[in-house]
Amino acid sequence: MTTREDILERLAYAEALSYGPKASALIAEAVTWADALGEEDLQVATRLALTDGYQHGNEEWKALAPFVWNLARFQERPDLFDADQLRTLHWHFKWSVAVAAANPKVAKDQVRRLEASLEEFYRSQGASMHVVHGERASVAGLLGLEEEAAEELAAWRATPRDENSDCEGCDPMRQVAYAYRTEDWDLAVGTAVPILREDVGCDVQPQMMQSLVLLPLLATGRPKAAWDAHMRSYREIRRHPNALVSIGYHLEYLALVGKVDRGLELLRRHVEWLDQAESAHALLTALRGMSLVLREAERVGRGEEALGVAVPAETLWAPHPAMEESTTISQAYAEFSGWARHLAAAFDARNANTTISDHLERSLARAPLAGQDGTGAQIELLQTPEALPEPVPTCQPVPSGAEEFGFDSALGLVSLDSGGAGRGAGQENSPAPAPPPGADSADSADSEEADEPFPLVDLTRPAPVGDGETAVRRYARTLSQVGAGAEYFYIVDQAAVLDHLPEPGRAPDGLEAEASSLRASAYSRRTEYDRAIEERLRIRPLRESQSGVLGAVEVDIANLNEEMTADRQAGRDTTPERAGRIERVETMLSVVAGRLERLLGPEDPAAPSAPADLATADPDLVDSCILAADVLSDIAGVLASLEAKEPGLRAVALMERAWLNVPVELHAEDMRDAVDMARAEILAECGEVVEACQLAEEVMRRHDIMPLPTALRGRRLLGVASMEVDQYEEAVKQFREHANTTMAMGMPFQTIASLLNLGQALGVAERFLESAEVLETALSRATSLQVPGMTLFIHQFLAQVHMGLGEHEGVLEHSLASAEALESAGRLAAAKEAYTNAATAAGNLDDNVQSSALFQRAAALEDVSTDLGRIEKGRMLRSAARALVDDLTVAMARSRLDDALAIMRQSQDTFMEVPDSEQYSMAWEQGDWHDDMSWILWRADETAQAIEHCEAAVEGYMSTDDRNSAARSLCLLASLHADRDDREAALAVCARVRELLAHPRWEGHDALAYVETVEDAFS
């Protein structure tokens, strides 16, 4: 039979969990237990907890039933409520009024009666009317009565705050919400200033306020502040479905500043939350933002693109059927906007006015900011925000000594989107909030980021690739030119994206070698290096028969480059292979040099330095020189990666000679640029960074309009070189421009690589928030293109960035994704580390069961054929056992104790046969095992057994005179005795610690500080 203690234990466990359906379900079960027992105080306590759980756990509409029960019980038996419970009832009452008003199925007269009851209740308790006026303002907005809302806000400002008021961070959201609805942008921003400056705040602030003022910040000429608010607040809310209202504001903002790509990314990420909306009004706000993003996507020509994500059916607030992933953006726009209008009409019918619909129509008709092209095809980083105005006062201060709660109000979660009597109200099509003259738009280059020294880049995009055969023909034409121009880069990238190249043996016009080369290049773009190598080897005999040794070397140097790139991405140490690889490349270089000499004769210092004339050039010689120059370019690049300066520069000199024998009409890029950039890359890789950067910059400034190849090579070189000399901000600047260029050119694979470089630079610069956003954009693109090699690398770095941000959810997500991919690839050491990081993150999130399981997955990857592997596996299993009992309550820890002990026995069996050595002591390892066992038993309240293991741990540690570890075990032993109130034993252990650490070198040790607290407690 369920006991009183069972109920209290259940409430304690649920309280330790995060708010959400899981915790609420546990409390709901406790309610039924309390009713079955007939314990009146527990019936009240469980329903108070259930109301709180629903209100904070994204199920606020469910909170009305337990709240009404408790309110009726209070009216009958006020003696059942102590002071804290009565204060909680105050909070539940004020929340419930806005919850009812946010549901159009609740009749208007019912809402009014609830308002009246709130006032009566607060007056009966002698409370300030500040909360009452604030809630009335919220309700008036939801009822479409803006004049009434303005009057109630005036009364709210004039009434003193008390302990029932929302915190100073949440309370002003009432006034900001009103200003947002009535388009009084200055009032909205002014009211929000203390929260935006973080002078005040709480668990949900400033992120809730930052979301609400995105549009007002834009409208008052603060685009940088708006982007800053978007970036910072979205990071905080993006994992919480009860922030759906705020997501709606972010989507609205992104649509109006033309960031369609990001808007669609967020829409696709959060559309699954629609059927979890905690109120009709939350759903309406989200639908409005999503409709605007879809409208803008259609406007820029993406209407026939698939939505790409299924939309769940909604059955609670405004029934709507599910939508398939194949639904087009145009169809989705019509569905979402119609859905929003249907929901707004339900409010209108309840309210007997059209205020909600009027506001919706003005929002849906709002034009994007002037000058936005709708693509958002630029990487925007954080910049210094514009100055904020002086804050607008909101209310009288809380009387001295009054306590404030740090909870968000119902109004804070229910923004009031209705038209009304404020500024801008009543307009059929209110204009887009535009910055004042001279203000930068959100996409404008800030003076801090401007890149004045370099000319603009030629961003003329080649014609789209229609089909695979066309791609092969166009690619073949690029091979008839020396160098690599925009057409080459574009064709290769598009081939990797479209994956529609002819199958081997089916190339058009006999272009089998060209089709194979394109296919290999596409595989390389997709980081499928083994397939690229295999494809080139397949065609090597044909290339050798066509072009002799140049054709063979062309394949060999390209494949060596693939091998080296794969090694770098896998993090392999290739130092032992370096000398052999240099020798291989130098052999290739000698072969090409010999062939070039046979074609052109000995080098002549007096030879012309201008390219050959097309009219008189020998076509066969020209073709051979084109191939030689391109092969030498690849050789120079590989030698640069191997830091082989002299042979690298020799390759560049030979490359220049080959170029000179190709008529300029057949140059795909500027010859001087190609030669000098190759030299700069060699200098940079060989440590001559300053000289390399100077040469690269000189090349980039040669042109009024910079050619694409020059821009891409130059930006990358400057970015990498800046990283080498710890100039991270300069690296960020260069990689950002590189990414913007590839995005503008429509080269998705190049863009992902650019974003990865940028994200890494931001991470090293400890700009973790921006790094995470950039890398998540790269991950989204890589995932959509199904590029596992890229996604793995991005997951790995994102895990590190989330560690920097302290976002344990992100560490868990990306470490686990990395671990599984690494394990599948056979990279077990890296997989084990990733599983361990994921396990630690799960523990930080209080998911001890998953944490234990992940430690066990890491342990399973240890190589137990070696002594070190057995030792490491034993230790990892001990971590798994500890995690399993590291639960939120003693009862839950005890429920898993048997499983934890079984893992500990497995751990012991794993290392017991490992013999002693100079680096390893079996006695010490046993002591460490006992130390973990003592901690596990302590967590499960098995004090007596824990004491025995503490003593065994000390003995094991002292076998190697490890006083530091022994002191740690003794501290736990002292704590165990203190928990049993055994003063004599606890103080005796404290004395042992002091004796153990008596040497001056241990002065300040944590153990000495701890035993001092134990001694003080017993003194």
Q: Which has more confidence, 443 or 512?
A: 512
Buried b (16+ CB within 10 A) or exposed e, 151-162: ebbeebbebebb
One-letter amino acid at 877 equals L
Residue with tokens 């100079």: 918
650-to-7, 633, 644 alpha-carbon distances in Å: 81, 11, 10
Q: What pLDDT shows up at residue 851?
A: 97
Q: What pLDDT shows up at residue 51?
A: 96
Position 652 pLDDT exceeds 60: yes
Q: What is the CA radius of gyration of the chain?
A: 34
Q: What pLDDT shows up at residue 944?
A: 95
Q: What pLDDT shows up at residue 376?
A: 52
Q: What pLDDT shows up at residue 421?
A: 36
Helix (H, G, I), strand (E, B) or coil at 37: helix
Mean pLDDT, residues 454-471: 92
The token pair that represents 159 in the structure block: 């009434």
Lowest mean pLDDT among 370-374, 430-434, 479-483, 894-898: 430-434
Q: What is the DSSP string of 790-853?
A: HHHHHHHHHHHHHHHHT-HHHHHHHHHHHHHHHHHTT-HHHHHHHHHHHHHHHHHTT-HHHHHH
Position 228 pLDDT exceeds 70: yes
* Count of positions (residues) in the chain: 1019
Mean pLDDT, residues 945-949: 97
DSSP H helical ranges for 159-279: 173-181, 185-196, 207-212, 214-219, 223-237, 244-256, 260-270
Position 346 pLDDT exceeds 90: yes
In the predicted model, what is the mean pLDDT of the chain?
Answer: 91
567-to-34, 561, 564, 570, 853 alpha-carbon distances in Å: 63, 10, 5, 5, 31
93-to-72, 155, 911 alpha-carbon distances in Å: 12, 20, 60
Q: What pLDDT shows up at residue 570?
A: 86
What is the rounded distance in angstroms from the CA atom of residue 525 to the CA atom of residue 532?
Answer: 9
User: Is-contact 311 443, C-beta < 8 A?
Assistant: no
Residues 6+ away with beta carbon under 8 Å from 903: 852, 856, 877, 878, 880, 881, 884
User: Is-contact 862 872, C-beta < 8 A?
Assistant: yes
Position 499 pLDDT exceeds 70: no
Position 563 pLDDT exceeds 60: yes
Residue 844 C-beta-side C-alpha neighbours within 13 Å: 14
Q: How many C-beta neighbours within 10 Å does residue 124 have? A: 9
What is the rounded distance in angstroms from the CA atom of residue 711 to the CA atom of residue 455?
Answer: 10
pLDDT band at 906; cut points 50, 70, 90: very high
Q: What pLDDT shows up at residue 450?
A: 45
Residue 375 C-beta-side C-alpha neighbours within 13 Å: 10
The token pair that represents 611 in the structure block: 């390219």
Q: What is the pLDDT of residues 364-386, one digit of tens each?
A: 999 998 655 555 567 889 889 99
Q: How many C-beta neighbours within 10 Å does residue 878 have? A: 27
Buried b (16+ CB within 10 A) or exposed e, 454-473: bbebbbeebeebeebbebbb
Q: What is the pLDDT of residues 86-101, one digit of tens each?
A: 999 999 999 999 999 9
Helix axis angle for 619-641 and 671-685, nearest 10°, is: 20
The token pair that represents 371 in the structure block: 């000058």
* φ, ψ at 323 (rounded to 5°): -120, 140
**Greatest distance between any 2 Cα atoms in the chain:** 110
Q: Which of 667, 669, 696, 666 has the alpha carbon at shortest distance from 680?
A: 696
Residues 6+ away with beta carbon under 8 Å from 398: 160, 161, 162, 163, 165, 404
Is the backbone of residue 311 left (phi > 0), alpha (psi -120 to 50) or beta?
beta
Q: What pLDDT shows up at residue 913?
A: 87
Domain with CATH 1.25.40.10 in the chain: 915-1019
Q: Bridge partners of 670?
A: none
What is the rounded distance in angstroms from the CA atom of residue 187 to the CA atom of residue 327?
Answer: 41
Q: What is the DSSP string of 361-389?
A: HHHHHPPPPTT--S---S-----PPPPP-
User: Is-contact 790 756, C-beta < 8 A?
Assistant: yes
Q: How many C-beta neighbours within 10 Å does residue 941 have? A: 13
Q: What pLDDT shows up at residue 426?
A: 38
Q: What is the pLDDT of residues 855-873, one digit of tens each?
A: 999 999 999 999 999 999 9
User: Is-contact 43 70, C-beta < 8 A?
Assistant: no
Position 68 pLDDT exceeds 80: yes
The pTM score is 0.85
Is the N-terminal amide bond of 206 cis, ω within 30° of 0? Answer: yes
pLDDT band at 502; cut points 50, 70, 90: confident
The token pair that represents 160 in the structure block: 């003193």
The token pair that represents 937 in the structure block: 């038993």
Position 420 pLDDT exceeds 80: no
Q: Which of 53, 60, 70 has the alpha carbon at shortest distance from 101?
A: 60
Q: What pLDDT shows up at residue 377?
A: 64
Find which of 83-87, 287-291, 434-438, 885-889 is predicted with most confidence, using mean pLDDT. Answer: 287-291
Q: What is the pLDDT of residues 797-827, one digit of tens each?
A: 999 999 999 999 999 999 999 999 999 999 9
Helix (H, G, I), strand (E, B) or coil at 571: coil
What is the rounded distance in angstroms from the CA atom of residue 665 to the CA atom of residue 667?
Answer: 6
Q: Percent of the chain scored above 70 by pLDDT?
A: 93
- Is CATH 3.40.50.300 what the domain over 915-1019 is classified as, yes or no? no
What is the rounded distance in angstroms from the CA atom of residue 664 to the CA atom of residue 625?
Answer: 13
Position 443 pLDDT exceeds 60: no
Q: What is the pLDDT of residues 994-1003, one digit of tens each?
A: 999 999 999 9
Helix (H, G, I), strand (E, B) or coil at 912: coil
DSSP H helical ranges for 548-670: 549-570, 575-600, 619-641, 645-660
Q: What pLDDT shows up at residue 488?
A: 96
Helix (H, G, I), strand (E, B) or coil at 622: helix
3.40.630, 2.60.40, 1.10.3470, 1.25.40: which CATH number matches 82-395+408-413? 1.25.40
Q: How many C-beta neighbours within 10 Å does residue 227 have? A: 23
pLDDT band at 406; cut points 50, 70, 90: very low
Looking at residue 205, what DSSP letter applies? Answer: B
Looking at residue 300, what DSSP letter applies? Answer: I
Q: What is the pLDDT of residues 682-734, one digit of tens each?
A: 999 999 999 999 999 999 999 999 999 999 999 999 999 999 999 999 999 99
pLDDT band at 18; cut points 50, 70, 90: confident
Mean pLDDT, residues 327-338: 97
Position 623 pLDDT exceeds 90: yes
Q: Percent of the chain scored above 90 by pLDDT?
A: 84
Residues 6+ away with beta carbon under 8 Å from 420: 141, 144, 145, 146, 147, 149, 181, 182, 355, 359
Looking at residue 327, what DSSP letter applies? Answer: -
What is the rounded distance in angstroms from the CA atom of residue 291 to the CA atom of residue 267?
Answer: 10
User: Is-contact 473 509, C-beta < 8 A?
Assistant: yes
Position 207 pLDDT exceeds 70: yes
- Cα torsion at 159, 162, 164, 170 (round to 10°)? 70
Q: How many C-beta neighbours within 10 Å does residue 448 have? A: 11
